Amino acid sequence: MIDRYVLDLQEIDETQVAVVGGKGAHLGGLSGIEGVHVPGGFCVTTDAFRRIMAEVPSIDDLLERLSRLNPDDRQEIRTLSAQIRRAIEEIAIPGEPAAAITRALARFGEQAAYAVRSSATAEDLPTASFAGQQDTYLNIVGPTAILQHVSRCWASLFTERAVTYRQRNGIDHRAVHMAVVVQRMVLPHAAGILFTADPVTGNRKVATVDAGFGLGEALVSGLVNPDVFKVRGDEVVAKAIAAKRRAVHALPAGGTQEVAIDSRRQEQPALTDTQVVQLVQLGRRIEAHFGRPQDIEWCLAEDGFRIVQSRPITTLFPIPETGDQENHVYVSVGHQQMMTDPMKPLGLSVWQLTAMAPMHEAGGRLFVDVTRRLASPASRAGLLDIVGRGDPLVRDALETVLDLEDFVRALPDADPGGPPVGGASTSIETDPAIVTELIERSEASVAALERDIRTKSGPELFDFLLEAFDEHKRVLSDPLSMQVIMAGMQATWWLNDKLHEWLGEKNAADTLTLSAPDNITSEMGLALLDVADVIRPHPDVVAFLRGVEDEDFLDELAKLAGGTEARDAIEAYLDRYGMRCVGEIDITRPRWRERPATVVPVILDNVRNFEPGAAGRRFEQGRQKAQQKEQDVLSRLRALPDGDQKADETKRMIDRVRTFIGYREYPKYGIISRYFVYKQALLREAERLVQADVVPEKEDIFYLTFQELRDVVRSHQVDDQLIQQRKEAFRSYQALTPPRVLTSEGEAVNGAYRRDDVPAGALAGLPVSAGSVEGRARVILDMAEADLEAGDILVTAYTDPSWSPLFVGITGLVTEVGGLMTHGAVIAREYGLPAVVGVEQATRLIRDGQRIRVHGTDGYVEILA
């Protein structure tokens, strides 16, 4: 009969997390792998833990108080968690569990030495390792000591660090239970950690072994630096042997102690290369069993390697699934679209169905496979040129991958693997009527979509949407639209290159493009200044808006003096721009029209920081600066040899860039306008599913792909477990940072600036809008929490078009993500804001409130004293 309180490791597999915890389940799974040796032992089940917890006085009240604490309230967490630990340790283990543990010890040897190790049910999970959150005790001898340390392991579920970790990860304290693993102690020559994927680069083909003398505790506790070996295939490809001056050894009577290592041994490797390769082969067997890269604790005794723990590596960025064994190179779509957050499944699938190029999903993000373009020398040069102009870090990352020997196999130029990079030919007349025609076409298409979708529901809606997606792509790929976009971009590049060559001017186009016409995104920011003008004269309205928390505030406005005008101004703004939001390429994100309170802080900043009529003045000042710059540049060119020809050519390019560069922002506006129409129709369908008790909440449909949602609407059946799994996966993806470039081996490559013109201590980035400005850094990660004063410099992770209303109130911009032609850069130039983008970890390295200087011409940021 299976004992409810104790199970031998041989009786356990990885499906029994609820009974034996994550560590116990993994050890049971390891015990069943041929050729993998796990020290013998048993697991005290969660039934024993529940039995003990039932006897702890007032435990329900204590856990309720704990759950209400803020994760940052460290003092209260420390006090309350210590109280719970004491209460658990003071409970004597009752007769049945104690007898079960004693019987198990008799089987394995009562006076043998054991490791007593915590194994929580929320531990070693695919999405959260919980590594180091609970306690382990080594070399425990005798039944009395083992029972005492089992109690301590139970209590360690409530260490301060474990409680805080659960609070921050949204895990209910009552939902987690503790099992305890009791294993025969191994007295090793060496011990350490094996990662079956490189934990730094993410490369799944490279394993990393950390090794030291004695027990692994010396490495885990940071007592010594380990020897580090890197293994690819059956070969050690790199190693660094450390001076290991200390080790942790087991004492004969129990417990452990630090010992000094003989000076002659300190710099000897803890493992031979042959042993390292043998260990990695074991690791590959374990990885294959669990189906994902593993973080493995091992030790080496007289009779070979013993595996004492294996858990998934949760920090690796996932790899797109291809179904082949070929090498692939992927470029992040999010870094181009200024949205590096994870997207929900419906958002991912709708973007894929409406995108112009095939895309691959990994970690809730989208990537484009550029392998074939890199393989052909001709298309490679074009790809590197265009990505390098936009974001030098992406170019550097791709060149880093190309430097990997034989990773990208060369193809002849005759097979470039796709259309030429850079889009359509730019031989186009400089005529504003072309832009007007394109905008009218787009608006007519959106109006037709809004009209025709109203009558569609059920399966018919999904058939209609698939046709709408085809129209979406047709509008997006309009050859004339692509010509206009490329004409504006290439004219910008030409002006910057030629005026630098002829006049020594850096980024001259930044000033020449100020207040360019037809820029829907910059108009959006200026339009919110006009809304502020309507609101400013009405103090009751301003006071009311300062207290807005709910989304139904517009209905209340009309009751105030001036409220009707204020409401009408905000409503008109939302009619024009309400489809926008942060992360807008994900259709599941809440739009301003759905959450109008999002724009209120920006309106209030505009009321406080600007005088009436600011929008018109700002636009006119920019236009005049651009005109003055044009006259200055042309007069200086005419003084040069062949000056008239240079000036005429430059004038043509200035006219071209001012005519076309504003349109660069319009196609995205058209996409997002269509997305809002799609979303409203899908949410109406979701409401019907809620009414039919198919899903509990409308937003549950966001965790289904478009095709899955179509099937649910047709069948009125949904897999609740799938939705729950998708929610958990999405939460885990939020903790991951997507790389700019990712290989099919899992190597995450972010590139580097190869520059020697950045002062020591400054943060390097990409110069995208000229000028220099000094001011207070405002580190803002959520636009709804903006609180800007005149003269502030915005520091954030990324800025898609929805951030542009903030740009009218700042004097400079710093972002972690971006390129020369991404939206934030275009609008910064439009408003004349010095801007540096692509500054790695800017939101961590720059503290909110610090004074900084932004060098928008030279591309770096100084943090000032």
Confidence bin at 134 (pLDDT 50/70/90): low
Among 277-281, 287-291, 427-431, 530-534, the least confident range: 427-431
Q: How far apart are CA 453 and CA 464, in angstroms?
A: 8
Q: Identify the CATH number of the domain in which residue 279 sits.
A: 3.30.470.20
Q: How far apart are CA 732 and CA 575, in angstroms?
A: 35
How many domains is the chain partitioned into structurally? 5
Looking at residue 66, its pLDDT comes to 85
Same domain, 616 and 514: yes
Looking at residue 520, its pLDDT comes to 96
Among 4-8, 319-323, 507-511, 780-784, the least confident range: 780-784
Confidence bin at 499 (pLDDT 50/70/90): very high
Looking at residue 123, its pLDDT comes to 53
Q: How far apart are CA 843 and CA 780, in angstroms?
A: 8
Cβ neighbors of 827 (< 8 A, separation 6 or more) are 519, 521, 522, 525, 665, 799, 801, 804, 807
* Final residue belonging to a domain, choices 654, 670, 692: 692
Same domain, 203 and 301: yes
Confidence bin at 319 (pLDDT 50/70/90): very high
Same domain, 464 and 342: no
Looking at residue 124, its pLDDT comes to 46
Is 50 exceeded by the pLDDT of residue 600? yes
Among 62-76, 180-194, 641-655, the least confident range: 62-76
Looking at residue 416, its pLDDT comes to 44
Q: How far apart are CA 386 and CA 820, in angstroms?
A: 10
Q: How far apart are CA 733 and CA 2, in angstroms?
A: 39
Expressed as residue numbers, the domain containing 771 is 752-863
Confidence bin at 418 (pLDDT 50/70/90): very low
**Structural domain includes residue 233:** yes
Looking at residue 121, its pLDDT comes to 86
Is 70 exceeded by the pLDDT of residue 63? yes
pLDDT digits (tens, 9 = 90+) for 450-492: 999 999 999 999 999 999 999 999 999 999 999 999 999 999 9
Q: What is the pTM of this model?
A: 0.88
Average pLDDT over every residue of 834-843: 95
Same domain, 388 and 481: no
Same domain, 179 and 196: no
Catalytic sites, residue numbers: 823
Average pLDDT over every residue of 497-524: 94
Is 50 exceeded by the pLDDT of residue 422? no
Average pLDDT over every residue of 29-56: 93
User: What would the two tokens of residue 800 be?
Assistant: 């898609």
Asked if residue 783 lies in contact with residue 862, where contact means CB atoms within 8 angstroms, the answer is: no
Percent share of the chain, pLDDT over 70? 96
Average pLDDT over every residue of 179-184: 95
642-645 contacts, C-beta under 8 A, 24 or more apart: none
Among 61-70, 242-251, 365-374, the least confident range: 242-251
Looking at residue 1, its pLDDT comes to 42
Provide the H-helix boundaries in 692-743.
Answer: 706-715, 720-734
Q: Identify the CATH number of the domain in which residue 175 sits.
A: 3.30.1490.20
Same domain, 532 and 604: yes
Is 70 exceeded by the pLDDT of residue 634? yes
State the DSSP H helix or E strand holding residue 305, giving kind and residue range, or none if neither: strand 304-312
Helices 17-31 and 273-290, packing angle to 10 deg: 130
What average pLDDT is seen over the chain? 91
Looking at residue 417, its pLDDT comes to 44
State the DSSP H helix or E strand holding residue 682, giving kind and residue range, or none if neither: helix 666-691
Q: How far apart are CA 813 and CA 718, in angstroms?
A: 45
DSSP state of 339: -
Q: How far apart are CA 296 and CA 300, in angstroms?
A: 13
Confidence bin at 129 (pLDDT 50/70/90): very low
Percent share of the chain, pLDDT over 90? 74
**Structural domain includes residue 26:** yes
By three-state DSSP, how is residue 549 classified?
A: coil
- Dihedral sign for Cα atoms in the order 233, 236, 242, 243: positive
Is 60 exceeded by the pLDDT of residue 414? no
Same domain, 230 and 82: no
Among 202-206, 258-262, 421-425, the least confident range: 421-425
Displacement of CA 709 from its chain's centroid (Å)? 25
Asked if residue 474 lies in contact with residue 729, where contact means CB atoms within 8 angstroms, the answer is: no
**Structural domain includes residue 431:** no
Among 116-130, 740-754, 819-833, the least confident range: 116-130
Among 50-59, 650-659, 670-679, the least confident range: 50-59
* Final residue belonging to a domain, choices 675, 692, 709: 692
pLDDT digits (tens, 9 = 90+) for 83-105: 999 989 988 898 899 999 999 99
Same domain, 276 and 340: no
Is 50 exceeded by the pLDDT of residue 249? yes
DSSP of 158-219: G-HHHHHHHHHTT--GGG--EEEEEEEPP--SEEEEEESS-TTT--TTEEEEEEEEB-THHH
Q: Identify the CATH number of the domain in which residue 758 sits.
A: 3.50.30.10
Confidence bin at 511 (pLDDT 50/70/90): very high
Q: Which residue has the tokens 């409810």?
A: 4
Is 70 exceeded by the pLDDT of residue 778? yes
Same domain, 28 and 141: yes
State the DSSP H helix or E strand holding residue 383, giving kind and residue range, or none if neither: helix 377-390
**Structural domain includes residue 726:** no
818: left (phi over 0), alpha (psi -120 to 50) or beta: left
Is 90 exceeded by the pLDDT of residue 415? no
Confidence bin at 438 (pLDDT 50/70/90): very high
pLDDT digits (tens, 9 = 90+) for 525-545: 999 999 999 999 999 999 999
Which is more confident, 120 or 367? Answer: 367
**Structural domain includes residue 87:** yes
Average pLDDT over every residue of 389-396: 92
Q: How far apart are CA 112 and CA 105, in angstroms?
A: 9
Average pLDDT over every residue of 276-284: 97
- 3-class SS string, 456-511: CCHHHHHHHHHHHHHHHHHHHCCHHHHHHHHHHHHHHHHHHHHHHHHHCCCCCHHH
**Structural domain includes residue 135:** yes
Same domain, 361 and 299: no
**Structural domain includes residue 725:** no
**Structural domain includes residue 778:** yes
Same domain, 159 and 226: no
Same domain, 135 and 242: no
Q: How far apart are CA 102 and CA 144, in angstroms?
A: 9
Strand order in the sheet with 772-779: 763-764, 860-863, 851-855, 772-779, 793-796, 812-815, 835-837, 766-769
Q: What percent of the residues of the chain are helix, what percent strand, and what percent coil, each to the nearest 5?
A: 50, 15, 35
Looking at residue 572, its pLDDT comes to 98
State the DSSP H helix or E strand holding residue 769, giving kind and residue range, or none if neither: strand 766-769
Average pLDDT over every residue of 817-823: 87
806: left (phi over 0), alpha (psi -120 to 50) or beta: alpha
Looking at residue 168, its pLDDT comes to 79
* Final residue belonging to a domain, choices 351, 381, 412: 412
